[in-house]
A and B are shown apart, each in its own frame.
Chain A
Amino acid sequence: QQQVKQSPQSLIVQKGGISIINCAYENTAFDYFPWYQQFPGKGPALLIAIRPDVSEKKEGRFTISFNKSAKQFSLHIMDSQPGDSATYFCAASIGYGGATNKLIFGTGTLLAVQP
């Protein structure tokens, strides 16, 4: 119940195309869903995050779509660029009385954007 399932494992997209990465969860107590981007040898960087009371959030070329009833959320990268080539992780957060919030990470998607 604590898992976050992520797909696909890898993705190849042409420059200018749309990259779509999907995640699903079981635990309805999750209330915060961030996406992180990680380049080789670097730490993850926060891209965008959403809460379950919103169905969509857009920041620049990055959009999260959230389906609460299906317990699914996805990341859309519009106009994908070679510089977007990285590993993307979805995550979900479950709080413990406001003291600490552990992130449960998906398995990651390796995105390659071809020029």
Chain B
Amino acid sequence: GAVVSQHPSRVICKSGTSVKIECRSLDFQATTMFWYRQFPKKSLMLMATSNEGSKATYEQGVEKDKFLINHASLTLSTLTVTSAHPEDSSFYICSASGLAGGPRETQYFGPGTRLLVL
């Protein structure tokens, strides 16, 4: 149980285009989903927290108009990087919490999406 998937696993795009990353909880309903960014050999940096049906809460310094988050259902959240630039190239990871019967704090992570903006 507690499997989280992400799609795509890798994406290369041109500067100025938008990229959408999907995060799905496959075998449980996630009350909350989180989006992280990770630079090489660095820790995870929380970008935003989202609950199903409500607006995402962004961390300080994260541009909400650039990183659009939609949490349409209890099993799907999407992150859209709008007008991507090379500095947006990174490893984006989502996580989900809310597994029934488990600690509410436990976050289960997806496999990550490697974004490269040319």
**B-contacting residues of A (Cβ < 8 Å)?**
31-32, 34, 36, 41-46, 49, 89, 93, 95, 98-103, 105-108, 110
B1-29 CB contacts (< 8 Å) to partner A: 4, 6
| B46 close to A102 (CB less than 8 A) | yes
Any A CB within 8 A of the CB of B106 = yes
Q: Of A31, A41, A46, A95, which is within 8 A of B112 by CB?
A: A41
- Total CB contacts across the A-B interface at under 8 A: 62
Question: Contacts A43-B110, A108-B43 known; A101 to B93 CB distance under 8 Å?
Answer: no
CA distance A100 to B109 in the complex (A): 16
Closest residue of B by beta carbon distance from A4: B43
Give the secondary structure class of B's interface.
Answer: strand
Residue pair B43, A107 in contact (C-beta under 8 Å): yes
Question: Are A41's CB and B114's CB within 8 A?
Answer: yes
Q: A93-B105, A99-B51 are in contact. List 10 more A-B contacts (CB 8 A).
A: A31-B105, A32-B103, A32-B105, A41-B112, A101-B107, A103-B34, A103-B105, A107-B42, A108-B42, A108-B43
The answer to whether B104 has its CB under 8 Å from any CB of chain A is yes
Chain A residue at minimal CB-CB distance from B93:
A43
CB-CB under 8 A from B75, the residues of chain A are none
Q: Is the interface of A mostly helix, strand, loop or mixed?
A: strand
Given A43-B93, A44-B93, A102-B46, A36 and B105 touching (CB < 8 A)?
no
Contact of A105 among B4, B41, B43, B97 (CB under 8 A): B43
Would you call B105 and A101 a contact (CB within 8 A)?
A: yes
B104 near A101 with CB under 8 A, answer yes
* Contact (Cβ within 8 A) A46 B106: yes
CB-CB < 8 A to A49: which residues of B? 103, 106
CB distance from B70 to the nearest CB of A (A): 17
Q: Do the beta carbons of A89 and B44 come within 8 Å of each other?
A: yes
**Complexed CA–CA distance, A93 and B103 (Å):** 11
B100 to chain A, nearest CB (A): 15
